[in-house]
Structure 1
Amino acid sequence: LACWPRPSNGRGVPRPEGGVGARFLAWTGDGHVASHREQGRFEVHFAAEDRQAQRVTDNIGLNMAAVSPTAACLAAGAGAGGGSQMIIRPAERWDKAVFSAALGSADEAVEAVACGATFAAALTSKRVLRVYGLSGLPLGIVSVAGRSVALAARHGHLLAVTGAPGAGDAPPPEGQDDALQYRLLDVRTRTQRAAGRLPLSPGSRLRWLGLSAELAPV
């Protein structure tokens, strides 16, 4: 989920310092990703590290991000001039600083991203959930029944929320019920821990998604 500047992120995490004109695309207790659009770059800061933020040059129109203690992933959606793309930036420097995560075709677009301890994931316009290692190596692909809504990850678990089957390709008008479903996946064992209808109050909208320290969906 993209995150914009605000006093806190709902979990008591203080607003990070991003500099003048910074727009935060991801902001959690694990770190943050700040966009400096006028300078054509992003800054990735991992909370557990004391060194300076890592800089990522943006020449593809990146507009979404996620961060974990071990990596950050950034993506450009369908409106990007060069087509949708996803990149992964491990916290520790490997043989190169940034890795590309391949999509299935030129017309497939990333719509939501998440980062776990050893993986990055994306929901795409082809109604699939793609999971990658931190080097961009594909680890798995899962078909989803409805439109992309949100992703969250913690440690080895991945939480995906999509539209329910038959709910349409767009959210319903304001005030009408939004039929959503969730899946909680264990990426390491490649098993599904839980799935079902996402409980929402009548007429409400999903505003935030995450996993607690006990790995419970919140």
Structure 2
Amino acid sequence: MTITADSYRENFNILKEKTSAIDKRLKNENKEYEKLIERIILNTCNNGAETVQPLGTNFNRISGIMEDKDKIIGDTHKLTDKVIDSLKSKEIYCLRDWITKFFTQVEGRYNAPNNDVRGWAKLLGAFDQKTSYEMANFRSRDKEYISQLKITLNEVQMSTDDFEKLYKMKRESNIEFHDQTDTLPEAEERFEKMQFTDEMKHYKEPLKKLFEALKIWYRD
């Protein structure tokens, strides 16, 4: 059974709930202890009050230590949240191999302008140039190659923006993040079960379209 980021998140949330319950009990006990000290001081003669007064000081020191502990636990929770989100991103990046398969299908259907034999390489070069330099638009000389890509993608209701996002995702993914599924249905099922973080959710729609496109093109 594969352990996913969601299962880690579920277990982590359970631990957080247990920690919260213990903290609540400790706070209640602290309040009762504080009330007890106040009653002892009120019901003790002057000399006795001087004897028990340090109890209040000790209580304040213990409360301070507990507050420091709570801060450390809070910071630990934040760090764990980031780690789990990182794992979720890793799961999504595992689909990089399917982006490669998708690009292969696009390449086979792409009609380069003027039958340019290097058309596909120039097209990818255009995306590489745009993403590497974070350009707002493609260069003028690349636009005819982009126009031909639009024609190819229109067959499966995809846009050049979808293609660009998939291209960026493939670049961002590390070589170690490989998909372990062997078939398209398995990969699609895995995708449908994934929960996308805010940082990754803009990839969801183009990935969904990717699988729809591959199902269409694989039937050709």
Choose between structure 1 and 2 for higher RCO, CA contacts under 8 A separated by at least 6 residues. Answer: 2
TM range (shorter): under 0.3
Name the TM-score, length of structure 1 as normaliser: 0.20
Higher helix proportion, which one?
2
Higher gyration radius (CA): 2
